[in-house]
Chains A and B, each alone.
Chain A
Amino acid sequence: MPNEDKTLDEIMDLAATHFKVSRDNLRPDEDFFKTLNIDSLQALDLLTRLENHFHVELPDYELQGVTDFRTLAGRIHARL
């Protein structure tokens, strides 16, 4: 099973590619709504891509209050 840092890297790579932002501009502990410039509908889009990528199912209520990649990685990792 991959470690959580690898999960975090994959999430940030996927987010940068899909939302067309520079990977270098993404930080694990910053607010990804702001750095990706996305709203909640787009956040659901990201959730779906992450579920498809990691082959997990993450109830969207687990995203409540989650605004940074590191916490998001923890939530996904807990389902691997």
Chain B
Amino acid sequence: MTDRFQGEAVSWEVAGGVIELALHRGPCNEIGSISLKELEQFTESLDDLSRQCHALIIHSAMPSGFCAGADLRELYHRSQEMQKAEAVVGVRDFLERIHRVLNTIDAAPLTTIAAIHGVTFGGGFELALVCDLIIADKMARFAFPELRLGLIPGFGGIPRLKRDLGNAVVRDLLLTGRSLNATRAHAVGLVSQLVAEGQALRAARATAAQLGKFDRRTAIAAKKFIKPIPHHELKQEIDLFCQLFAEPAVEAGLRKFVESTDLQPYLP
């Protein structure tokens, strides 16, 4: 068990029964191969860490936001180096690995809190959604922009958003690709606490301290009872993503994002 780790993309430490997982890969914690490898290391330690802890807080040390999603530049450049069929196999492998990581955090035997600020898009939004609670400051924004690339969310976002919100909100986010501000996200029930700018981590720590007062086994049982993991739909999402990834529109969308000198790549 490693109760303290300093990586290139993530770090974690344990104090007072709380694990804090910090994301710190510039520019905005884009999830690529390095982040995935270190998150896998984290989830390999999580079982042991959970025995001595009652809460996990995931937060970002990058000023621009929690996480802007998958590392599209790495995805594009790697897929350009191989035949399409080989690229699809590589993408499926990546997805299955990230799903294992996110499923582990989703089901972790402790209460998980995402402390959010700024941009929380795509894979970043999906990382937040595996947590039991989302605490966001007023500058947070949430989006599934994948449709702009000819894709759907591939890290489990659709089944998990459906688990938490009404279908109308899910359709809005998915089909328009627009971002919701934290105030609206709180109004629709996605965000459990809305705090002042820069205060999300502080509020998450206060919440984690409160959680430590409860019987740990009861909390774990309650979480398991009310939070099903949608395994079947998660697998269907991977299949659909891989099917779409093979389409020409995706390569064009990725190229546009990566090669664009447009000042507006994060706007629809």
**Is A21 in contact with chain B by the CB < 8 A criterion?**
no
Distance of B194 from chain A, by nearest CB (Å):
11
Partner of B181, one of A33, A39, A57: A57
Residues of B within 8 A of A43 (CB): 263-264, 266-267
Option from A44, A52, A64 in Cβ contact (under 8 Å) with B119 = A44
5 A-B pairs with CB atoms under 8 Å apart are: A43-B263, A44-B119, A45-B139, A60-B178, A60-B179
Q: Is A9 an interface residue (CB 8 A)?
A: no
Contact across chains for B181 and A59 when beta carbons are under 8 A apart: no
Asked if B265 is at the interface (CB within 8 A of a chain A CB), the reply is yes
Interface size on A, residues (CB 8 A): 17
State whether A40 touches B264 (Cβ < 8 A).
Answer: yes
Interface residues of A in 23-80 (CB under 8 A from B): 33, 39-41, 43-45, 48-49, 51-52, 57, 59-61, 63-64
Whether B28 is near chain A, meaning CB under 8 Å from some CB there, is yes
| Residues of B contacting A44 in the complex (Cβ-Cβ under 8 angstroms) | 119, 141, 179, 266-267
Q: What is the predominant secondary structure among interface residues of chain B facing chain A?
A: loop
Q: A48-B139, A52-B138, A61-B176 are in contact. Are A41 and B266 (CB under 8 A)?
A: yes
> In the complex the two chains form, is B138's CB within 8 Å of A48's CB?
yes
Alpha-carbon gap, A56 to B14, bound state (A): 40
User: When the two chains form the complex, which single residue of A41, A52, A64 contacts B268, counting CB atoms closer than 8 Å?
Assistant: A64
B73 at the interface (CB under 8 A from A): no
Candidates A40, A48, A57, A61; contact of B266 at CB < 8 Å: A40
Q: Is B184 an interface residue (CB 8 A)?
A: yes
* A48 / chain B contacts, CB cutoff of 8 Å: 138-141, 181-182
Contacts of B177 in A (CB 8 A): 61
Contact A33 B141 (CB under 8 A): no
**Interface set, chain B 178-192, CB cutoff 8 A to A:** 178-184
Interface of A is mostly: helix
Residue of chain A at shortest CB distance from B187: A57
Is B69 an interface residue, CB under 8 A from the partner?
no
Enumerate chain B residues within 8 angstroms of A49, measured Cβ to Cβ.
139
Would you give the shortest CB distance from B214 to chain A, in whole angstroms?
34
Contact A33 B119, beta carbon cutoff 8 Å: no
Apart from A43-B267, A49-B139, A63-B264: 14 A-B pairs, beta carbons within 8 A? A41-B118, A44-B119, A48-B181, A52-B181, A52-B183, A59-B176, A60-B143, A60-B178, A61-B178, A61-B268, A63-B267, A64-B264, A64-B267, A64-B268
Q: How far is the CA of A45 from the CA of B267 in the complex (A)?
A: 11
| Bound form: Cα–Cα A33–B182 in Å | 24
- Please, which residues of chain A bring their CB within 8 A of the CB of B68? 41
Measured between C-beta atoms, what is the minimum distance from B219 to chain A in Å? 34
Interface string of B28-43 (1 = CB under 8 A from A): 1000000000000000
Q: Does B64 contact A (CB under 8 A)?
A: yes
Contact of A40 among B65, B139, B265 (CB under 8 A): B265
Q: Give, as a whole number of angstroms, the nearest-CB distance from A20 to chain B.
A: 15
A49 CA / B178 CA spacing, docked (Å)? 16
- Measured CB to CB, the closest approach of chain A to B11, in angstroms, equals 23
Give Cα distance in the complex from A48 to B120, angstroms: 13
